[in-house]
Chain A
């Protein structure tokens, strides 16, 4: 029951539509940035305060910048050929609409049979700060995946540097 969340969801979906359909890849990536921001607000309303901050820092400050860099480094500066949508759009469109409908129907039916939290519990969950809880969980029951992720990140970084090395 709140306008900010509704606006954030509309922003998310609308800019995701632009990402999907805009022929200019630079515009698509700019609107991807708006999608990330909208998702961050949705996280905030789902009681994921730390996650919302991390979403902005990682996606806006990291991934979007990387993508913009790649676009600007790979397109010839003044012979911009950014338009790149394929002509065949009907089959993918049908497929993705079918996927969306199927996903939503399936989840909807599943949710209808699931016991959900009471409104009071939801309220309490939303207003609890999560940072300390997440820290304890990451160094407690999720320690092994956490360490695995650190090794994955290290490997990805070394691999990326090696791939992008000068000849």
Chain B
């Protein structure tokens, strides 16, 4: 237990959580058919990247540059979510489904 707690607050702990979130995000993107499900996976991946940036900014450099990059990641994630959901709603209006496999033609 003590060992686990030490691990959790070290750089390795942050990296482990980041790696797990990243791989779960990839798993989510690969296995979901639903376009919104794929979006969930992408959010996980972006969060994993942000965790790594923040962890390195604390443990390695002691500067806030990593946190600024994490802030940019968040803003990009927000913009990306808005655009993706607009695309999904449009696609739903067109096809009455949000199954990503149905998006297979180049024109409507």
Contacts and interface: CB of A to CB of B under 8 A. Distances in A.
Interface of A: 1-3, 5-6, 9, 12-13, 16-17, 19-20, 25, 28-29, 32, 35-36, 39, 42-43, 45-48, 50-51, 54-55, 58-59, 62-63, 66-67, 69-71, 73-74, 84-86, 88-89, 91-93, 95-97, 99-100, 103-104, 107-108, 111, 114, 116-117, 121-122, 125-126, 130, 133-134, 137-138, 142, 145, 149, 152-153, 156-157, 159-161, 163-164, 167
A74 B13 contact: no
Contact of B17 (A3, A42, A73, A145): A42
Given A58-B78, A66-B81, A156-B83, A19 B28 contact: yes
Interface residues of B, number: 74
Given A17-B24, A111-B11, A138 B68 contact: yes
Contacts of B9: 1-2, 5-6, 45
B86 interface: yes
Contacts of B85: 66-67, 69-70, 160
Contacts of A46: 14, 54-55, 57-58
22 contacts: A3-B5, A9-B17, A25-B37, A32-B40, A46-B14, A48-B58, A48-B67, A51-B71, A58-B77, A66-B82, A67-B39, A89-B31, A92-B27, A92-B30, A95-B26, A104-B15, A117-B58, A134-B64, A134-B68, A156-B79, A164-B86, A164-B89
B29 to A, nearest CB: 9
